[in-house]
Amino acid sequence: KQEVTQIPAALSVPEGENLVLNCSFTDSAIYNLQWFRQDPGKGLTSLLLIQSSQREQTSGRLNASLDKSSGRSTLYIAASQPGDSATYLCAVGGATNKLIFGTGTLLAVQP
């Protein structure tokens, strides 16, 4: 059974700092991995989708990497801003056509 873990559970950084969020999964037979952000009480916003054949994807200040063999993905946020404060979720997609979500990282960027 696929299990997805995110470390750390919570992170507080000063504005301007570069940071890395981690996502680990137990079954490397995935089709893709998607990173989302969620603001309190809101829906999920898709940030990046990485196909299983890709090593990384970039969008603006965000860069996501994928290492299938080791069961790991990282989300790198450059020059963090207070507006980046949110919960970040990773989710892996497999042959069941479902997304299995990680436990989330609550990020606070202090002005």
Question: Contact positions toward other proteins, by CB under 8 A?
Answer: 31-32, 34, 36, 41-46, 49, 51-52, 89, 91, 93-99, 101-104
Q: Radius of gyration over alpha carbons of the chain, in Å?
A: 13
CB of 16 to other proteins, least distance (A): 28
- Pairwise CA distance, residues 33 & 92, whole Å: 4
CB of 45 to other proteins, least distance (A): 7
- Pairwise CA distance, residues 37 & 25, whole Å: 18
CB of 46 to other proteins, least distance (A): 6
Give the three-state DSSP class for 84: helix
Considering the complex, state which of residue 77 and residue 89 has its C-beta at the smaller distance from other proteins: 89
